[in-house]
Amino acid sequence: FWPSNFMRQRESGTLVLRVGLTEIDFLFFEQAQGAPQVLSWGSENISYFTVRQTLEKIFTQFPKAKAIRKLVTTFPESQFNAQVIQHMLPPMLPRHLMTSAEASTIERDALAQASRILQKSLFRESGILPNEFSLRRVKILDRRIDGYSVANLEGFQRGEIVFSVLGMFLLEPPFLPVEQFAKSHKVYDIRVMHIAEAIESFAAAHNQEGVYLCVEEEKTQIIVRKEGRIAFLDTIPMGENAFIEFFGDVLGMRESAAETFQERYFHDNLSAPVRARVEAYVLPEVKKFATLIKEKLLGAKMTLPVPVRIFGKARALRNLQSMFNDGVLQDLPFLQKPEPHFLLPDEI
């Protein structure tokens, strides 16, 4: 244990976790001269250890002079689900200017109704019973009166009101070992953040709209940020595991060897002939991935902002340009030619 007077003198940082199905991704950073400075980042496998044991292993990699002041964690889509719905309220006659009290009541009632709709939708689509998950947060992303976006309802005439509402649901068991780890290290500032919220925060801070693809083990989440808000949110049933299985089947590798090989491929640590052969092998899977993305984005029925940012477990997608040059994604309604880009920890 650290002496209490030394603990007060230690500089503190923020620990960000993504507790996945087979790995925990971590990023530990501090604020230095107004900008974040990454102190440690990486991934640890949880196939042979519990989540709590793996978190303790990660903790040993941090600088001893740094304390964890804040912990932010997220989970894969199968454990932490988010949906965006549109909730419409018809005009009320006679038309009148909405007061502050009326605006607050309308939004409170709209959030309550949206929460019920979201819970029914989650049960219908996933089969998860209401007592197995908790509604972590529900928030209004956008307000429109007669089709016009407004920051607040107060002071506007009561017309047709449409709310865009984001709801987030978490299965409780995956969160418990994270909470226990935090308490054991005297970290009391804990926040569970959905990847859509993280993108919203990142994009707002850097003024960066675009299409974001979060590649997980089994799925990939698609988030479109446009006109200052999350405009579209969906998921495809294909993630890193599909590529690991593909490498294993085609190249005859065991899972651990396939993961290592993917890592070398991503960091361009293969010879030119081997890399060319790998890209030829993996191209059909990349096209399949791109086709699933295309189907979802066409369903968004909107023009798409650029660039396309890919992050998470996307080691097999190193040659991203092929997704846009072979015609699979060329006819999507991007505002201009999309430039794919990997979002790395040092770009936060």
Q: Which of 221, 197, 81 is nearest to 139 (CA)?
A: 197
d(CA 101, CA 53): 50
- Give me the pLDDT at residue 4, please: 40
- Give me the pLDDT at residue 179, please: 95
Average pLDDT per block of 10 residues along the chain, 348 residues long: 40 91 92 85 89 96 91 93 92 92 96 90 75 86 94 95 93 92 96 91 85 93 92 93 78 76 78 83 84 93 92 71 66 85 72
d(CA 111, CA 103): 12
Task: Please state whether beta strands 229-236 and 308-312 pair in parallel, antiparallel, or not at all (unpaired).
Answer: unpaired
- Give me the pLDDT at residue 256, please: 75
Residues 6+ apart with CB under 8 A from 18: 24, 25, 26, 73, 74, 75, 76, 312
DSSP for residue 97:
B
Structure tokens at 172: 């409780």
Contact assessment for residue 104 and residue 111, using Cβ atoms and an 8 Å cutoff: no
Structure tokens at 23: 């790995």
**CB-neighbour burial class of residue 179 (10 A; exposed 0-12, middle 13-18, buried 19+):** middle
CB atoms within 10 A of CB 23: 19
- Give me the pLDDT at residue 5, please: 41
Contact assessment for residue 212 and residue 311, using Cβ atoms and an 8 Å cutoff: yes
Contact assessment for residue 72 and residue 18, using Cβ atoms and an 8 Å cutoff: no
Write down the pTM of the prediction: 0.83
Long-range contacts of 295-303 (CB under 8 A, 24+ apart): 296/222, 296/234, 296/235, 296/236, 297/211, 297/222, 297/224, 297/232, 297/332, 298/332, 299/234, 300/224, 300/231, 300/232, 300/234, 302/224, 302/226, 302/231, 302/232, 302/333, 303/333, 303/334, 303/335
d(CA 266, CA 262): 6
Q: Which of 238, 338, 250 is nearest to 288 (CA)?
A: 238
**CB-neighbour burial class of residue 72 (10 A; exposed 0-12, middle 13-18, buried 19+):** middle
DSSP for residue 320:
T
**Which H or E run contains 53?**
helix 51-59
d(CA 251, CA 277): 11
Task: Please state whether beta strands 210-215 and 308-312 pair in parallel, antiparallel, or not at all (unpaired).
Answer: parallel
- Give me the pLDDT at residue 124, please: 79
d(CA 298, CA 48): 41
Task: Please state whether beta strands 229-236 and 161-171 pair in parallel, antiparallel, or not at all (unpaired).
Answer: unpaired
**CB-neighbour burial class of residue 295 (10 A; exposed 0-12, middle 13-18, buried 19+):** exposed
Greatest CA separation found in the chain?
A: 74
